[in-house]
Amino acid sequence: QVQLMESGGGSVQAGGSLRLSCVASGQTFTTCVGWFRQAPGKEREGVATTDISNPGQPKYADSVKGRFTVSRDSAKNTHYLQMNNLTAEDTAMYYCAAAKALFDISCPWTLYNTWGQGTQVTVTS
């Protein structure tokens, strides 16, 4: 069972940047790791996901393409979400998520079933 611990949230002005970190303990080479967010009054949505079927080509939600980037430090079992050019619409609780890829190694949003505790990102204008 993968355990996840996020950090790095905070408050930033519009146009600024933040980097979130997620330590994924127990991750294996078949573990999908992604990022989700949930704004007040809205459903949780996928932000970025690894794609085991296409390593090095993570998938992003349209709303964050070109602004958010995921990366990984394998030696530290740590995943990062670099968020640039933030807007007020990016304000949300951000969650690191994981899932074991058994039959679908493209890591679709619906596969994820393990969640971190979340970290708040607030963008002020």
Q: Can you tell me the distance from the alpha carbon of 85 to that of 83, in angstroms, rounded to the nearest whole number?
A: 7
In this prediction, residues 75-97 reach a mean pLDDT of: 97
The reported pLDDT for the residue numbered 52 is 87
pLDDT score for 90: 98
Buried/exposed code over 23-37 (b: 16+ C-beta within 10 A; e: otherwise): bbeebeeebbbbbbb
Averaged pLDDT, 112-120: 97
Q: Encode pLDDT of 41-73 as tens digits.
A: 999 999 999 988 888 899 999 999 999 999 999
Q: What is the pLDDT of residue 119?
A: 97
CB 30 within 8 A of CB 102: yes
Q: Give the tokens for residue 83.
A: 């968020």
Cα separation of 69 and 105, whole Å? 20
